[in-house]
Amino acid sequence: MKSTIFFTVSVLVVSCFAQRSPYAGRLPIGYPIMDTTSTTVSDLDNRFGEDVPVTTERLPIEANGDRELVNRLKKLPIDQQPFWLINWLHLEQMRQNPQTYQSKPNTFIDLVPSQNNQNINGQLS
């Protein structure tokens, strides 16, 4: 009887600690917001204060720098375009307009006691 109760309690404790890995950190889970305001040159490339616009075209790796190939393949119907081009176009669209989500606050690490944490006497519970 005692071993059954001990086993049940230990399984309950282990399953509670296994809910979130200690390596995951204490921050809330969510997608980070990407900075899309800088469309020119990064700060490392612009270390002399020159505002030079980016002139390099983004091409898929499979095109080997051939812009004419990409333009010809884009003119084909979608069912005849190679998968690498379709995939690259979708990825570029996602890079231009990334989806961001609000991160939810983690209720397990509430450092400041709120009104909900107080009992009737006004003391912290």
How many whole angstroms separate alpha carbon 56 and alpha carbon 65? 10
> Greater confidence, 28 or 68?
68
**pLDDT of amino acid 86:** 94
Instruction: Report the predicted TM-score, pTM, of the whole model to 2 decimal places.
Output: 0.40
The tens digit of pLDDT for each residue in 84-110 reads: 999 999 999 998 888 888 877 777 776
Look-up: residue for tokens 């979130």? 20
How many whole angstroms separate alpha carbon 108 and alpha carbon 71? 53
